[in-house]
Structure 1
């Protein structure tokens, strides 16, 4: 069944373009403009302070894990009866849906080692982790009291594990390694009878009945959703981020003519912050007071914006594990991260383990490469602010305080040597300290109009061209 159950990657969902600063084969997400005129942000001081911390983290990991990990398919989208979805090897929807949901009887990720995971994430330079408690299929990776469609169901194999609550296991281990933790939660639930009522076949990703005709059924779903979010923010220790997906579930005032799929976010957030006052919430793509930061998916903003934002981008082609996926290299991730941070954003990198709970060697290799670079260059990434001119060609800028500017040069794949002179724009006054951040080697410079021209020793230019990014620190 695992070989049979495949979903096609849809080009329109994964469109990318090559940007000029990147290495020849590096594919970075499309540049788009994201509106922020409706941004509100948290009002209470604890959440505001936590959001400020989050903005300094810069680099996080989003783990997708569920029945789709067992099957190696593109998350749970095969259950959506929409024209863009393909189900290779299947002639009818019902057979696919039956096989997909039946995967729970074989899903048994006994190789999952949360402590090993957490150490790998910390070594990679991640500062926060977001884990999928439930995707759109409704299968819970935690011990929800409001459904039997969960990995802890005593009739399923992983329930016999010593730590069957995967969400708790992963979050506890991540906290021990010093990572902030967040919970991904899908607002739609395609397993709930109050969302997809068996009386009707599903038509698309939305409820398959008219909620105006059956308001009591919709209110039952609203209560179910509120109950699940209440247990997630009550029973799993300190939660830094509540990351809500399924943005088509929204009030009519924000729904552009669609049904009024209101789940009362005010009640959910007020209730959660009574227990978790520092909680930051992202009701993603639903603009307003419950989207504490913007989350463009697989995209990077064209320009810096004055509100918090995070690009969520996959390491491979899919959010979860699929066989033979093509993963970005360490250089690609470093250059992607640099471009995002230079514009004031965070990068949330999506990875997924297979059905056994293991990450592929290529994932481990890439994360190790990124971590090695951040070990010596992280000062130019973490807790930085964007600064004009943000980027020029292959050169990207970040800053700290009023007296430090970082110029991050991203070599291309065809460069044999980096330039002998790199001009770094800045307005710092007096005698400056200029050095390569990675090894603290001092560099000579001369003042030029609008900044300084830094001399790169000829003996280093070829070696530095092999790096993913060369960081020059300029401080007054």
Structure 2
């Protein structure tokens, strides 16, 4: 089973909320009718042949939300129930003995999961300000509690216990009201394998029979039905590689491979770097300290590196049991949004360039059409940026995102392209970390 702060290898499918909410009629029409009309078979060769919807590759940045009953004890990790009852780890047992009366069960946490200050419209506003193009919510974690009114959860859901609300549905509605479908999309994640329930969101649509005990090997059957039975196979549904054992980094529309996966070179398959602002947990922890919070510069650096290597960056937060997103998480998300407001052109809808990284330097490349973007993490002391790989032509022009004027440049047979950066004080620069030069007319 997972170690502290880790997520199960079986966790997760990234999926739009349309099915969960029972509002498939709100789905945007597929842009590629021939793709949505294609029939698949319940085997990995067939399912893996499905083209990845273009919106996902273009989105680049999403927000992950781990929220559930584990947000009540809010200690250790989101795998609180398993570490306490499954593994019987001493720190978790001591925590319970010191803070709760004898006989207190995990189910007793349910009524305390109130979501009293959960305002999905405020969440939507924050996620949009962060520059996210999709949002992924954990709708059911390892202990089986569903954040929507599931009729087969033995009353272990957010409608019957705790909030008495459809948390998933409310967030989906808020995001759709705030953002056009083509601007920000909504997804869900649930545990495919848990110790309490093997029944999931799709029971409303007759798919629960494929998910009886020990049925993780039936994952291709479930995915096949999603692709074929529901008309969401165009631009709507994407799935990852966490469909059970031996699927990670092998099967799915995109690969997570493992938590916080970051390849060293350009992968051949679409992938996603999934990470958390809290270094030690995905869910909210009351015992988190500032040294365990990832710095702004590290988050932006990971985003740049991920996109340069062809991936998407999914950044996780954990709300409190009341539905609050604590200020440090808000601050980190807004910092990303501020940076993207200037440099988003070099991130959204880009492709990897023929070179991803300058040798032994901190310059990462992306491309879009005829434009090449060089994102450099350290401002050169002499104010001249040296790039070895772009080949200039008579029509080459160079600008910095956030600065209107063209930049002067020259070439050197040894140092390559030399770009004279704006001579401005640090406070006058468009961003304080990671700047982008845009090159047009280069080979």
TM-score, structure 1 normalization: 0.71
Given the alignment, which residue of 202, 225, 229 partners 1:229? 202
Alignment of 1:347-358 (within 5 A): 347-358=313-324
Cα displacement (A) at 1:376: 1.3
Q: Counterparts of 2:192 and 2:90 in 1: how far apart (Å)?
A: 20
* CA contact 2:342–2:402 (8 Å) conserved in 1: yes
* CA contact 1:10–1:84 (8 Å) conserved in 2: no
Aligned counterpart, 1:149: 156
Given the alignment, which residue of 441, 455, 467 partners 2:405? 441
Residue 285 (structure 2) pairs with residue 322 (structure 1): yes
* CA contact 2:4–2:79 (8 Å) conserved in 1: no
List per-residue Cα deviations over 1:127-167 (Å, max 9, x = no partner).
Answer: 011111100010111111111111111xx3421xxxx1001
Residue 126 (structure 2) pairs with residue 165 (structure 1): no
List per-residue Cα deviations over 1:236-271 (Å, max 9, x = no partner).
Answer: xxxxxxxxxxxxx99xxxxxxxx9754512321122
Cα displacement (A) at 1:68: 1.2
Cα displacement (A) at 1:180: 1.1
Alignment of 1:74-473 (within 5 A): 74-80=77-83, 81-82=86-87, 86-87=91-92, 88-90=94-96, 98-147=104-153, 148-153=155-160, 156-159=161-164, 164-176=165-177, 177-178=179-180, 179-192=184-197, 221=198, 224-225=199-200, 228-231=201-204, 261-273=215-227, 274-275=229-230, 276-278=232-234, 279-284=237-242, 286-287=247-248, 290-295=251-256, 296-317=258-279, 318-325=281-288, 326-392=292-358, 393-401=361-369, 403-411=370-378, 417=381, 419-423=383-387, 425-427=389-391, 429-449=393-413, 452-460=417-425, 464=429, 467-473=432-438
Q: Counterparts of 2:122 and 2:6 in 1: how far apart (Å)?
A: 36
167-176 or 73-82, which moves further after superposition? 73-82
Q: Counterparts of 1:260 and 1:323 in 2: how far apart (Å)?
A: 34
> Which ranges of structure 2 fall in alignment gaps of 5 or more residues?
8-43
Q: Counterparts of 2:102 and 2:273 in 1: how far apart (Å)?
A: 32
Q: How many residues align?
A: 376
* CA contact 1:416–1:462 (8 Å) conserved in 2: no
List per-residue Cα deviations over 1:201-251 (Å, max 9, x = no partner).
Answer: xxxxxxxxxxxxxxxxxxxx5xx35xx3343899xxxxxxxxxxxxxx99x
Cα displacement (A) at 1:190: 1.9
Q: Compared with structure 1, are the counterparts of its residues 353 and 455 closer, same or farther at alpha carbon in structure 2 (3 Å cutoff)? A: same
RMSD, aligned CA: 3.3
Q: Counterparts of 1:127 and 1:12 in 2: how far apart (Å)?
A: 25
Aligned counterpart, 1:71: 73
> Which ranges of structure 1 fall in alignment gaps of 5 or more residues?
1-7, 14-37, 193-220, 235-248, 251-258
Q: Counterparts of 1:306 and 1:40 in 2: how far apart (Å)?
A: 18
260-269 or 282-291, which moves further after superposition? 282-291
Q: Counterparts of 1:65 and 1:12 in 2: how far apart (Å)?
A: 15
TM-score, structure 2 normalization: 0.76
